[in-house]
Each structure stands twice: as structure tokens, then as C-alpha cells.
Amino acid sequence: EVQLVESGGGLVQPGRSLRLSCAASGFTFDDYAMHWVRQAPGKGLEWVSGISWNSGSIGYADSVKGRFTISRDNAKNSLYLQMNSLRAEDTALYYCAKDDDYSSSSYYFDYWGQGTLVTVSS
Amino acid sequence: EIVLTQSPATLSLSPGERATLSCRASQSVSSYLAWYQQKPGQAPRLLIYDASNRATGIPARFSGSGSGTDFTLTISSLEPEDFAVYYCQQRSKFGQGTKLEIK
């Protein structure tokens, strides 16, 4: 059974940093691209960042470019999101999502975690 | 930059009725479009990929169609569990969602 479990969310002041983690199990982690998608309270979905299976291809939404860094550790079956210079508008539930394409990236997200809440407020 | 526009914003129907949800892209995306369902307090679930292919375990009452700029998600006969928010997606872009509510 595929499982994605996010952690690391919490309340943080504007301008500070936070690191999210996603622990994956139930599939061959290093075969698939992975993504972070967020959802502000009461709002829609926003893709944040994605990383290919071998970290060779990485992308970011314009809203987080230069502030967030995605990474993965295939030996630990883990995905990360380092978030710096946080703003109030980064407040959201952050989901880890698995790409459905083997060894490539289709941007179709077939499995999602339950999310970790990040609240940016003073 | 591709923009996805979903309509209507809210759709009020009764169980057993047919639901038709629309997603329009600002430029052609070929058939590279997905649909997701999200229920309150839950993560999104992939329903349709490549515009018309049902994801694993998705009931046959869900179907997708379209190509280029105009896409449709159809639920042939609504079940009580189908009332939720539906999003279309093309790579890094999501539509704003359609809320399907019970009439």
C-alpha cells in the first residue's frame, strides 16, 4: 500500500524558515518524480514544486521561486521542502504527491499524503 | 502561461442526475489534462488523466472527454458520495474548482 506521510508543519513567524518532510512507502521511491502541492484555507490547489526521480530536473511555482528548495533522499525514501523567507500568503496545507509516471514526470498525481499545515503569522 | 477556467463554480444537482463539469484552457494542451475529486478534510483523488482515461479504481460513471482547449468531466448518475469539489489540472496549473452540491 502506497503511503505518503508529511511532517514538519507548524506556526512560524514571517521571514523565518521551516523544513517539511514526506516519508514514502509502498512503492519504489527512486523510480518516480515527486511533488509538493499546497492549499490555502478554503482555497483551491496550487502546485508548489516538483523533482524528478534522480533530482536531475526540478521546478518551482513563480510564487516560491528563490525562497523554497525541494530535495529528496532516495536512500531514505524521503522528500523535503525547505521553505525560507516565509510570508503570510504561504499559509496552507502542504501535500506531498507522487507522480504516476515511471522514470519520467507526467504531472499526474496518483497518490497524496494527508498534508501538513503551515501557518505563517506573527 | 496556461490558465484553466472551470465552470460552473457551483453545480446543484440531485442523486441520480447527470453532472457535466467544464474546464477550458487558455491555449491548447492537447490531451494532457487531469481531473481530481476532493472531499472535505481529505486529500485530492485522481479521477481522470490524459483527458479521458480513468485512474485505477475509479467507477465507470466518471468519464472525461475533450482535447485542445475544451474538456468535460461527466458523472453519469450521481451517487451521494460524489458531492465534492472537482479540479482540472494541466501540469503545474490547476483550475479554480467546481463545487458539486446536493440540490
Report, as an integer, the average pLDDT of B14-40: 97
Residue ranges of B 10-69 with Cβ closer than 8 A to chain A: 32, 34, 36, 38, 43-46, 49-50, 55-56
What pLDDT, in 10s, does the model give residues A73-111?
A: 999 999 999 999 999 999 999 999 999 987 778 899 999
| β-pair partners for B67 | B70
Whole-number Å distance between alpha carbons of A64 and B44:
22
pLDDT of residue A84: 98
Interface touch A100/B49, C-beta < 8 Å: yes
Interface touch B43/A115, C-beta < 8 Å: yes
Q: What are residue A9's phi and psi, to 5 degrees?
A: -70, 170
pLDDT of residue A105: 84
Stretch (H or E) spanning B13: strand B10-13
Whole-number Å distance between alpha carbons of A94 and A74:
21
Interface touch B89/A115, C-beta < 8 Å: no
What pLDDT, in 10s, does the model give residues A37-85?
A: 999 999 999 999 999 999 999 999 999 999 999 999 999 999 999 999 9
Interface touch A45/B43, C-beta < 8 Å: no
pLDDT of residue A104: 77
pLDDT of residue A102: 77
Residue ranges of A 61-120 with Cβ closer than 8 A to chain B: 61, 95, 100, 106-110, 112-115
Residues from chain B contacting residue A114 (CB–CB below 8 Å):
43
Report, as an integer, the average pLDDT of B24-49: 97
Per-residue pLDDT at B23 exceeds 80 = yes
Best probe of the B interface among A5, A27, A35, A45, by most B CBs < 10 A, is A45
Looking at CA atoms only, how far is residue B14 from chain A in angstroms? Answer: 24
Residue type, B51: A
C-alpha cell at A54: 534522480
Whole-number Å distance between alpha carbons of A33 and A100:
8
